[in-house]
Amino acid sequence: MSSDKEPFSLYIHIPYCISKCPYCDFNVHVVSKIPEMEYGETLLRELDSYAQSEHWHRRNLKTIYFGGGTPSTFEPVSIGTILDKAEFLFPFEKDIEITLEANPGTDDSKNFPGYRSCGVNRISIGAQSFQPRLLSFLGRLHTADETREALKIIHQAGFENFNLDLIYASPGQSLADLKADLDEALGFNPPHLSAYNLTIEEGTPFHREFRAGRIRPLPEEEEISMAELIEETLSREGLERYEISNYAKPGYQSRHNLNYWQGGDYLGIGAGAHSYKRSQDHVGGCRWHNEKNPGRYMERINQEGKALVEMEQSDLTKAASEFMFLGLRMIQGISVDEFSCRFGKTPDAFYPQIGDWLEEGLMELRDARLCLTRRGLLVANSIFVNFV
Ligand code: SF4
């Protein structure tokens, strides 16, 4: 109805991978033949169905993110068809950011020039490590040489904006291994780098190994030294930390992810994709997600146009807690005035523990913003559980 409503972000989930990495707990499916055509057509139908609803109708798009799974298993023509449809239904902002997650295998990187031609302007590549021993431990199918080649192709294809993912704190990884990974990654001059510490998630093969005593996480002090090395090394190279695990050169922060952390509207399509829209009074909001199984997702979209399995309205308390734990992920933290205006009380009146965290040096007030200190960032998860 009104194209002048605030622009929103679109997430598109491609749930297929060639094999499943033992640490991964995403909604991923390994199938003998990826139903690229059928799944792609289903995504178009789901987009159509949302385009008719009043909340999303003709609203401008500011970012699109193809995540997975492995979106680079899809041919550029399929990605291009989805982008054409999205632009037909939702006018693109002039500076739209369009990201596609890719694995560095040869079959994937040959598609990079095609993605660039069909409108993708940011690639996020899952390098994870350049050490063969660590790649093999992480169950990655690609080699370090394939990552090097993929990064060359990213440059040649004209992607001025790209992200490189690294995983650190793998058992057996040393500070020297991490330094070598950082040095090699920086050699490709990435404008954005994400460094995630390996977490052992329930239900994964790594969790079973951990319970059987065959995997031992690194001691906490070593993990802390690694986090410090990452921040020091990257900031020296002009990559500023702007979120717990994310670093960027000025102007290259992921606008798609910032929209999540800042509580903006996003629509997720595809199997298991999550969506969020703020309520009209801008206090609470509504979250929902799709059927996770790709087969059932396709069946439901084809029959009903939507595949929602759960919808949750957030009341004031829930909305305040989301505001805190999403906003505090960012180094700039949350605006005290914005919180007070939206929720009718200052953050410390809402959450008395904030006084203790300020005293303990885990939080600080900077320019009327409440944020985690460096020490607070190291124990962020144990602070966030207090908001849930
Ligand atoms: S490639 Fe990525 S999404 Fe696929 S299984 Fe591995 S970590 Fe998970």
Which domain CATH number covers 371? 1.10.10
> Residue 120: inside a domain, yes or no?
yes
Nearest residue (by CA) to ligand 1, atom 2, is 69
Which of 16, 18, 19, 21 to mutate to test ligand 1, by most ligand atoms within 8 A of the CB atom? 21
Which of 18, 23, 24 to mutate to test ligand 1, by most ligand atoms within 8 A of the CB atom? 24
Tokens of 101: 């997650």
296 C-alpha to center of ligand 1: Å?
21
> Residue 286: inside a domain, yes or no?
no
Give the list of residues 6+ apart from residue 357 with CB closer than 8 angstroms, or none: 363, 376, 383
**pLDDT confidence of residue 196:** 97
Which domain CATH number covers 93? 3.20.20.70
Which of 14, 18, 20 to mutate to test ligand 1, by most ligand atoms within 8 A of the CB atom? 20
> Residue 87: inside a domain, yes or no?
yes
> Residue 277: inside a domain, yes or no?
no
Looking at the structure, do residues 234 and 112 belong to the same domain, yes or no? Answer: yes
Looking at the structure, do residues 20 and 93 belong to the same domain, yes or no? Answer: yes
For residue 81, which of 120, 51, 118, 117 has the smallest C-alpha distance? 118
User: Tens of pLDDT along the chain (388 residues)?
Assistant: 443 489 999 999 999 999 999 999 999 999 999 999 999 999 999 999 999 999 999 999 999 999 999 999 999 999 999 999 999 999 999 999 999 999 998 788 999 999 999 999 999 999 999 999 999 999 999 999 999 999 999 999 999 999 999 999 999 999 999 999 999 999 999 999 999 999 999 999 999 999 999 999 999 999 999 999 999 999 999 999 999 999 999 999 999 999 999 999 999 999 999 999 998 887 889 999 999 999 999 999 999 999 999 999 988 999 999 999 999 999 999 999 999 999 999 999 999 999 999 999 999 999 999 999 999 999 999 999 998 7
Strand runs labelled E in 73-121: 92-102
Last residue of one domain, picked from the residues 259, 292, 308: 259
Last residue of one domain, picked from the residues 242, 259, 276: 259
70 C-alpha to center of ligand 1: Å?
7
> Residue 269: inside a domain, yes or no?
no
Last residue of one domain, picked from the residues 233, 259, 285: 259
Please, which residues bridge with residue 196 across strands? 167
68 C-alpha to center of ligand 1: Å?
7
Residue 362: domain span: 320-388
Distance set, CA 4 to CA 90, 92, 208 (Å):
11, 12, 51
> Residue 307: inside a domain, yes or no?
no
CB 120 within 8 A of CB 160: no
For ligand 1, whether the C-beta of 326 sits within 6 Å is no
101 C-alpha to center of ligand 1: Å?
10
Give the list of residues 6+ apart from residue 261 with CB closer than 8 angstroms, or none: 243, 326, 327, 329, 330
**pLDDT confidence of residue 3:** 39
Give the list of residues 6+ apart from residue 202 with CB closer than 8 angstroms, or none: 25
Looking at the structure, do residues 242 and 372 belong to the same domain, yes or no? Answer: no
